[in-house]
Amino acid sequence: MSVRVAKTAGFCFGVNRAVEMALAAAESRERVYMLGQLIHNRAVTDKLASLGVREVQTLSEVPEGSAVIVRAHGVPKSVYEEIAARGLELIDVTCPFVRKIHRIAERESAEGRRVIIMGDPTHPEVIGISGWCQDASVCQDAAELEKLCLEYADFAAKPVSLVAQTTSNRTKWEFFVNNIKKLYTNPKIFDTICNATDERQAECAEIAAQSEVMLIIGDRNSSNTRKLKEVAETKCEKVYLIDGARELDKRWFDRVRTVGITAGASTPAWIIKEVVNQMSEELRNQVAAEAIDEAEENFEQMLENSIKTLYTGDKVTGIVTAINSGEINVDLGVKHAGYISINELSDDPNYIADGKIKVGDEIEAFVMRVNDVEGTVQLSKKRLDVIKGWDTIEQAREDRTTVEGTVIEENKGGVVVSVGGVHVFVPASQTGLPKDAEMSQIMKQKVKLRVIEVNRARRRVVGSIRAVAQEERRAKAEQIWAEIEENKVYNGVVKSLTSYGAFVDIGGVDGMIHISELSWNRVRHPSEVVAVGDEVEVYVISFDTEKKKISLGYRKAEDNPWTKFVTNYAIGDVVPVKVLKFMPFGAFAEVLPGVDGLIHISQIANQRINKPDDVLSENEVVNAKITDIDMDRQKISLSIRAVIEDGEAVEAADAE
């Protein structure tokens, strides 16, 4: 019997994010409440309950001053408003892809369109989406949509926008879309089915078609899991939905050669592992029974095995019996005593045996030399690691998976990374470092790389650190685009400067701060405010998902000099101002850094003048009265003449 487990089985990005955030909240806060089930998996919610997170169905059950976790499926807008009104702490773990549907529904509804949701009307995700629009209709399939159109005469009259529950079946969605186009002239279609759902269902169908028995692991309340069962049943006759290993029935696998396994997006990895381990145990029992049927091992053979002699090149497993300063003693269960020199433990230059190996540990090793006279066996764990490392390297090349190693050597062409004892050459162009950068900066560091070339005969392996970095950057970029919102704050790094602004990496995606958004003061070049490599806090002003452009802001609203001006000054105040420049009609003067006012030529002196610079000079500081403030246009009128006349009036009064 062979068992195949789907690569897409288990937590998706959104669920994994939700669980991690909830666990972090449970560890850092005393009173945490979960509004409904975090995800549709009781094992996960039970785990949170054991950490003190209490599940409630309404906000009225949450005491004042507590933290509230909003589940991954999302909630209506009214729930957020109630949380804010009561001053509760919000921990929003809504799946970013579901949150995106909320924004679509709210926007389309605000434009006067009816939002039609394809999904289960009783599902928390659909209930949450409905709560973000004024006029929503939920249909599970095309038949329900047609029924609505027949029952309500004006149903097809209003413009509509269509979204789908993220876990919807792709085939059903396409049929639904084709039907809606027949009923409406200009419907707006938003394909909101999660890509992970498509991939999971496609792989489920593929494995089910090749299996005699198909196991679907997950909570029966999970829409995602139930749809996997529906998909599998179209390809396989025997499909079983289980919530864990305890529900396995041996009778399902009688005379079965192939078994497929997948799991819903809310199923933890440990539950999948339990099922797979039990299936593996069944497989071992089956193999053992077949072996016993073929022949029984005789006593003489068993005796020979117990006193067998070891040979150079053998792979052995033993128990650590002693640890000395220079070597480790190993009991191999034979007449020879085994030992491993400290320098044969690992190829990692940073490896320290102390604390990693202890007496009683089981250890695998490679036989380097057998001394029958002294009754000793010289072993090497490092060389066995190399043998295993080659297998890992070749498998990683075939599967295009990532491996991890330590940079152990630097040369002119690049660096050498030890991956499980195998030396992988990484050319300078594939290190991810800038051109002409010193390779020494990554010496002895742990790095992830992608194997791009393997020649075991010549013992040559070539890898790329840059390829992994690019993939991680793409993954981070996808996450950012899934979660991005206007006014959202990011911590970023300045990557480059131009005459018109600064480009900032906000974690996988570059955005631009226009020069006008760098500072409230006049800036001639971005370098006056930031430099390449600076860590900066920025916020999103606007974004275009199609063109992949993000406009960022850096200057803070609280630093707006106009706000400071209107807070501290009023019409009639006399203030010292600095003359900046002259125009034929007057002079501009600085009231505060970033706030200028105009002194009209008629207000410069108490007598007629031909030009402003006949009386004033640049950078001269004079007293002027604020005679007018235009709030809409943010303009200020100043008068030196008014100050002079006020002074003359005071003198005249004193003379009387």
CB 396 within 8 A of CB 387: no
486 classed as catalytic: no
Question: Residue 585 to residues 396, 588, 613: CA-CA distances in angstroms?
Answer: 76, 10, 11
Q: What are φ and ψ of residue 262, in 5° steps?
A: -140, 175
| Pair type for strands 549-553 and 574-583 | unpaired
Asked if 8 contacts 194 with a C-beta cutoff of 8 angstroms, the reply is no
Look up residue 325 and give its DSSP letter: S
Length of the chain: 656
The closest of 40, 96, 19 to 227, measured between CA atoms, is 40
* Closest to 315 measured CA to CA, from 253, 364, 353, 377: 364
Tokens (6 digits) for 74: 């999302």
The token duo for 117 is 């949701």
Burial class (CB in 10 A: 0-12, 13-18, 19+), 324: exposed
Closest CA to 378 of 292, 421, 324, 316: 316
- Coil, strand or helix: which one is 113? coil
| Residues 135-163: b if buried by 16+ CB within 10 A, e if exposed | ebbbbbebeebeeebeeeeebbeeebbbb
Nearby residues of 148 by Cβ (< 8 Å), 6 or more positions away = 137, 139, 155
Residues pairing with 415 in the sheet: 410, 426
Q: Which of 126, 115, 94 has its CA nearest to residue 15?
A: 94
For residue 550, give the nearest of 632, 615, 626, 488 by alpha carbon.
Answer: 488
Q: Which of 125, 203, 344, 517 is catalytic?
A: 125
Question: At residue 116, what are phi and psi to the nearest 5 degrees?
Answer: -105, 125
Cβ(444)–Cβ(350) below 8 Å: yes
The distance in angstroms from the start CA to the end CA of the chain is 117
Structural tokens at position 444: 């002895």
CA distance 77 to 129: 9
SS3 readout for 346-357? CCCCCCCCECCE
Distances from the Cα of 152 to the Cαs of 112, 137, 161, 607, in angstroms? 18, 12, 18, 80
CB 180 within 8 A of CB 116: yes
Tokens of 94: 């809504």
Q: How many of the other CB atoms lie within 10 Å of CB of 576?
A: 11
Question: Active-site positions?
Answer: 125
